[in-house]
Structure 1
């Protein structure tokens, strides 16, 4: 009880949407108000935590594209006094940091894609046992008894109804935990293909699947 906000519980929650300028005052004010309510304060353009220390964090990036996204986030947060630094690492360095949980923030890519039937792999992503297991995929260090219970219910389900209910509980808990900051999402896929190829009229929810395409009869 009380673990999930009302709008997440009733399905009306949506991620915040900005005007795309990086200077949306409405969203920045909402963020500032949340920080202020938690004891943070803005002094001489610097956000101070409840102990009076400057608030900031480091973002690790592994490519120019990730660095570009991090820089956009950096500029936006600077407007409310949050000091963000960016460090670009090569593949081996960033993998080592991931395995040791030695980072503040990472720019994620396709590492959190899921099948339409989540299974035992979710233990390694969100389960408490994986929170401190070196090399696990629980990069956010999630250790929540409620999430553990949802995972157990999902894996123990013996009917579709129980399975769907457990997955939805897990989904609501993950949304409520704010473990990720959604940055961008494209709802479309674009591709070029030869005119002699044909594809199904309906596209799966997870995107096109080349093995389902065929060559048109001559």
Structure 2
């Protein structure tokens, strides 16, 4: 069984909020305290197991994006084949009204620009093709 280690600090600690490692944007004194206790308990299985489980519960309860494996980067795959209609229906909030674009689905342009704004991935107008829209993927 792998044990929780000091590597957790880079991914979850508040002090790394502005780094590319704290991708979910975690800023929590509870998480910080649990990580500090995990670092202090290295080598002590009796302490590490309950601390690791407690950290897991806190992170899961907050619905953060959980990074998988130990990679230096995040991967995001997407295909721009959906769009909003040019004239939107009167009684819609727009979130459930996406249209499949046959022309868009045939085009692949390689890598697209994706930026992180306030803890979320954002597709700029150069990607969406709509200068007035910003599509967001919340995590």
Structures share fold, TM-score greater than 0.5: no
Sort the TM-score into its range (normalised by shorter chain). Answer: 0.3 to 0.5
> TM (normalized to structure 2)?
0.43
> TM (normalized to structure 1)?
0.28
